Amino acid sequence: MKIVITCKLPHEVIEPLQAKYDVVMWEKEGEPMERARLLHEIEEAHGLFTNVADQIDAELLEKATNLKVISTMAVGFDNIDVETAKQKGIVIGHTPGVLTEATADLTFALLMATGRRIVEGMDVLRQDEWKSWAPFFLTGQEIYGKTIGIIGMGRIGLGVARRAKGFSMNILYHNRSHNKEAEETLGATYCKLDDLLTQADYVVLLAPSTKDTYKMMGKEQFAKMKNSAIFINTSRGTNVDEEALYHALEAGDIYAAGLDVFDPEPISSSHPLLRLRNVTALPHIGSAAIETRLEMARLACENLVNGLEDKPLVHEVKA
Ligand code: GLV
Ligand code: GLV
């Protein structure tokens, strides 16, 4: 059977696959497989190893006449046309769980960096703008004891809430359903979205990308936030109306934003949001800790092999 891997993976990860299957892997580090190549390779493939950088859409799935399994090295699968894949009897695997803590760490790091203007401080040094200690030089927002509002209380949201608890933050959350663990072990309070937006000092978006969450943070939502509030997004860029965010940041309707995700990705240095002093931006690295990425790769391989061998996947996308 043939496997297509759309990204460069370490030898130790692919060797077991090479021993059993005909493996085609894209060799360019840091770049996804070219679309034309993927459309060609998929025609014969039984297994596809993918990630968030590929569009696994109906056009591609039409050509994939042998495909049994799609395994994405990610928790999110909004880049995959799940419905079409299911109709064709293709199973889909993803990697929840193993990236929860790393992504919660990055989310909290971005929250702290944005609130306390860490990256701006480094820029000041690099540009020789440090003249003296001064009373209000690079003042940001406090974190300890403030109110955090977490939109999307899944595994990662819960991880962020645990970190927030360590900073004695008051924890509000909004989610499709109540999260007992967050309420009972962390004292988190369930809120309507509007109440969360008006009360939180830090609004942290961790909802998956679906039809219902598309641009859920827009002009109206940013207007409800405090002028001193900070918006953090480590979920998906599609969940935010970026133009509305730009205007809210420029007008001072909100204080700052920390963003790990954009729509579309990647962005270039000319992106309007990067021109704003009060934006701290990262190139979609939520789960990018070395141990985590190796675990994700291993889990994605296990899903792939199980799918090829008609065994249940470790984590199957059920939609
Ligand atoms: C990355 O964004 C993921 O979904 O794992
Ligand atoms: C992702 O793992 C989530 O449920 O937050």
Q: What is the DSSP string of 139-170?
A: -----TT-EEEEE--SHHHHHHHHHHHHTT-E
Known active-site residue 181: no
Please tell me the predicted confidence (pLDDT) of residue 141. 98
Catalytic residue among 265, 277, 291, 309: 265
Please tell me the predicted confidence (pLDDT) of residue 307. 98
Known active-site residue 236: yes
Average pLDDT in the 236-246 region?
98
pTM for the complete prediction?
0.96
Mean pLDDT, all residues of the chain:
98
Please tell me the predicted confidence (pLDDT) of residue 17. 97
d(CA 58, CA 297): 25
| Confidence band, pLDDT 50/70/90 cuts, at residue 109 | very high
pLDDT 10s digits, 52-81: 999 999 999 999 999 999 999 999 999 999
Q: Which class is domain 100-281?
A: alpha beta
Average pLDDT in the 121-137 region?
98
| 117 φψ region: left (φ > 0), alpha (ψ -120 to 50), beta (else) | left
Q: Token digits for 31?
A: 């770049």
pLDDT 10s digits, 83-97: 999 999 999 999 999
CA of 260 to the centre of ligand 1 (A): 11
Q: Evaluate if residue 235 carries a pLDDT over 80.
A: yes
* 97 Cα distance to chain centroid: 14
Please tell me the predicted confidence (pLDDT) of residue 101. 98
| Confidence band, pLDDT 50/70/90 cuts, at residue 45 | very high
At the topology level of CATH, where does 2-96+290-308 sit? Rossmann fold (3.40.50)
CA of 48 to the centre of ligand 1 (A): 17
Q: Provide the ipTM.
A: 0.75
Is the CB of 150 within 6 Å of ligand 2? no
Q: Evaluate if residue 319 carries a pLDDT over 90.
A: no
Average pLDDT in the 131-141 region?
98
Q: Token digits for 66?
A: 């042998």
Is the CB of 75 within 6 Å of ligand 1? yes
Please tell me the predicted confidence (pLDDT) of residue 292. 98
Please tell me the predicted confidence (pLDDT) of residue 229. 98
CA of 124 to the centre of ligand 1 (A): 32
Please tell me the predicted confidence (pLDDT) of residue 271. 98
Q: Evaluate if residue 239 carries a pLDDT over 90.
A: yes
Is the CB of 213 within 6 Å of ligand 2? no
SS3 content of the chain, % helix, strand, coil (to 5): 40, 15, 45
**Location of structure tokens 């060797």:** 15
Please tell me the predicted confidence (pLDDT) of residue 26. 97
The pairing of beta strand 147-151 with beta strand 202-205 = parallel
Average pLDDT in the 111-122 region?
98
pLDDT 10s digits, 148-196: 999 999 999 999 999 999 999 999 999 999 999 999 999 999 999 999 9
Q: What percent of the chain has pLDDT over 90?
A: 99
- Tell me where in the chain the CATH 3.40.50.720 domain(s) lie: 2-96+290-308, 100-281
Catalytic residue among 46, 117, 174, 284: 284
| Confidence band, pLDDT 50/70/90 cuts, at residue 224 | very high
